Chains A and B, each alone.
Chain A
Amino acid sequence: MDSNKRSDAEEQSGPGEQRASPARPSFGKKQLPSIPKNAIPITKAASPASSTQSANGTHASYGPFYLEYSLLAEFTLVIKQKLPGIYVQPSYRSALMWFGVIFIRHGLYQDGVFKFTVYIPDNYPDGDCPRVVFDTPVFHPLVDPVSGELDVRRAFTKWRRNHNHIWQVLMYARTIFYKINTMEPLNPEAAVLYEKDIQLYKSKVVDSVKLCNSHLFDQPKIDDPYAISFSPWNPAVHEEAKEKMFAHKRRPDDYNKGLPVSGLSWVKPGSTQPFSKDDNPLQT
Chain B
Amino acid sequence: MSWLSRLNPRGPGTRTGRHAAPSSPCTADPETCLMVFENHWRQVSGVLKRRESSVGGCADDLTAVRNHTDQMLCLLAEERPAGGDIESPDCGMSAAMGPILEMVVAENILEELVQWHVRHGLDPDSQLELLKLFEMLIGQSHQPLLLHSAVLQPLLSLLGACVDPQLGCPSALESSLVLLLNQVCVSMVKETAILELLFKCGPVQQGPTNLLIFSLLVPFIHRDGSLGQQARDALLLVMATSASNHAVARYIAENSYFCPVLATGLSALYSSLPRKIEVRGDDWHALRREDWMGVSSLVLFMNSLEFCNAVVQVAHPLVRCQLLDYLHNGFLVPVMGPALHKSSVDEMIASTAYLDLFLRSITETSLLKTFLRFILLHRHDNDTILDTLLTRISSNSRLCMVSLSLFKTLLSLNCEDLMLQLVLRYLLPCTHVMLSQRRAVRETDLYGKSADKFLSLIPECCRITSAPSSERDDEPAFWGKVLGSPTSESPVHHRPSTPSRLSLFIRQQSSGGQANSSGSENAPPSPRGSVSSPLSSDSPMHQLPDTSEGETGYLEYLRDARRGIELCSWGCRDWSAPYDGENPSPTSVPPPPPPPTSNPSLSMVPEHFSVMDPAQQRAAVVAAARSEWSSSDRDSGEWDVTISKNCISLTPRSKKRSLLPSTVPLQSSASASTEITGAVETVSQHPHSAPHPALYNGMGQVEFTDSVDERMEVKKVKRESDVNSGVVESGMNGSMGMGPVDFKDFHVGSALKSSQVQLKPHLQHQTSVPSSTQECLQSESQRLSPVLGLTETSTVPRDNRAPESVERLIEELLERAPSEPLSGDSKGQGISIEAFHQELRELEERVRERRVLSHSSEESSRESRTAPAPNLTDEDCLPVETERRSSETKPDSSTTGVFSPARPLGQPLAQPYTGPFITVLFSKLESMMQNSLYVNILLTGVVFQLACYPQPLLRSFLLNTNMVFQPSVKSLIQVLGSVKNRIEAFAATHEDFPVLLRKARRFLVARGKLDWSDSPMGVPNLRRSDSLIKSRKPSLGDLILRHTNSPTRARHAAQLALAHVRDGGQSLHSALFRGGAAGGASGLEKQAEALRVKNAVYCAVIFSEFLKELAALAQEHAVALPFPPSQGTEE
Contacts and interface: CB of A to CB of B under 8 A. Distances in A.
A70 B1027 CA distance: 31
A261 B444 CA distance: 28
B376 A69 contact: no
A55 B321 contact: no
Contacts of B455: 59, 62
B416 A266 contact: yes
Interface stretch (A4-12, A181-189, A269-277): A269-277
Interface centre among A51, A79, A251, A272 (most CB of B within 10 A): A272
Contact of A55 (B553, B589, B1119, B1130): B553
A221 B590 CA distance: 59
A25 interface: no
Given A55-B1108, A69-B448, A264 B368 contact: yes
B490 to A, nearest CB: 27
A281 B1027 contact: no
Contact of B417 (A59, A65, A79, A267): A267
B448 A253 contact: no
Interface stretch (B569-577, B742-750, B792-800, B880-888): B569-577
A274 B1121 contact: no
A30 interface: yes
Contact of B1120 (A30, A261, A268): A30
Interface in B438-469: 443-448, 451-452, 455-456, 458, 463-466
B576 A252 contact: no
A253 B447 contact: no
Contacts of A56: 463-465, 472, 551
Nearest to B569: A252
B446 A162 contact: yes
A70 B584 contact: no
A267 B552 contact: no
A282 B318 CA distance: 6
B467 to A, nearest CB: 10
B414 A260 contact: yes
A154 interface: no
B66 interface: no
Interface residues of B, number: 85
Interface in B350-384: 363, 365-366, 368-369, 372-373, 376-377
A50 B448 CA distance: 14
Contacts of A270: 576-577, 584
Interface string B1089-1131: 0000000000000000000100100011011110101100010
Interface stretch (B37-45, B73-81, B560-568): B560-568
Interface string A26-41: 0110100000000000
A74 B448 CA distance: 12
A266 B563 contact: no
A199 interface: no
Interface string B466-479: 10000011100000
A72 interface: yes
B5 to A, nearest CB: 14
B1109 to A, nearest CB: 11
A30 B452 contact: no
A254 interface: yes
B604 to A, nearest CB: 22
A268 B447 contact: no
A248 to B, nearest CB: 12
A59 B456 contact: yes
Contacts of A266: 369, 416-417
A76 interface: yes
Interface string A54-81: 1111110010011001101111100110
A137 to B, nearest CB: 32
B1027 to A, nearest CB: 5
B415 A275 contact: no
A251 B474 contact: no
Interface in B1003-1034: 1023-1024, 1026-1028
B520 interface: no
A252 B570 contact: yes
Nearest to B365: A261
Contact of A263 (B372, B573, B589): B573
Given A57-B472, A70-B446, A272 B463 contact: no
B570 A274 contact: no
B428 interface: yes
B567 A261 contact: no
Given A55-B555, A261-B365, A267-B416, A76 B1119 contact: yes
**Interface size bracket, A side:** 35 or more
A70 B446 CA distance: 5
A161 interface: yes
A260 to B, nearest CB: 5
A271 B576 CA distance: 8
A283 B316 CA distance: 10
A85 to B, nearest CB: 20
Contacts of A157: none
Contact of B1121 (A52, A79, A258, A282): A79
Contact of B566 (A51, A66, A253): A253
Contacts of A272: 420, 424-425, 428, 584, 589-590
Contact of B447 (A161, A256, A263): A161
A125 B577 CA distance: 32
B458 A70 contact: no
A252 B448 contact: no
Given A55-B553, A57-B465, A260-B1027, A281 B321 contact: yes
B413 A264 contact: yes
Nearest to B1026: A258
A284 interface: yes
Contacts of A258: 1023-1024, 1026-1027
A255 to B, nearest CB: 7
A79 B474 CA distance: 36
Given A254-B563, A281-B317, A65 B448 contact: yes
B1034 to A, nearest CB: 10
B166 to A, nearest CB: 36
Given A55-B1108, A69-B1119, A270-B584, A252 B452 contact: no
A260 B464 contact: no
A55 B552 contact: yes
Nearest to B1129: A249
B418 interface: yes
B571 to A, nearest CB: 4
A52 B557 CA distance: 14
B412 interface: yes
Given A65-B558, A271-B576, A265 B1115 contact: no
A274 B369 CA distance: 11
Contact of A274 (B368, B376, B465, B1027): B376
Interface string B233-277: 000000000000000000000000000000000000000000000
Interface string B944-976: 000000000000000000000000000000000
Contact of A65 (B373, B428, B554): B554
Interface centre among A66, A161, A262, A282 (most CB of B within 10 A): A262
A56 B444 CA distance: 25
B421 interface: yes
A1 interface: no
Nearest to B243: A284
6 contacts: A62-B452, A66-B1115, A69-B1119, A271-B576, A281-B317, A281-B321
Interface of B: 317-318, 320-321, 324, 363, 365-366, 368-369, 372-373, 376-377, 412-418, 420-421, 424-425, 428, 443-448, 451-452, 455-456, 458, 463-466, 472-474, 531, 551-555, 557-558, 562-563, 566-567, 570-577, 584, 589-590, 788, 1023-1024, 1026-1028, 1108, 1111, 1115-1116, 1118-1121, 1123, 1125-1126, 1130
Given A251-B1123, A252-B566, A274-B417, 4 more contacts: A69-B1118, A259-B567, A260-B571, A264-B574
The 5 A-B residue pairs with the shortest CB-CB distance in the complex, in nearest-first order = A55-B554, A263-B574, A66-B448, A59-B455, A274-B417
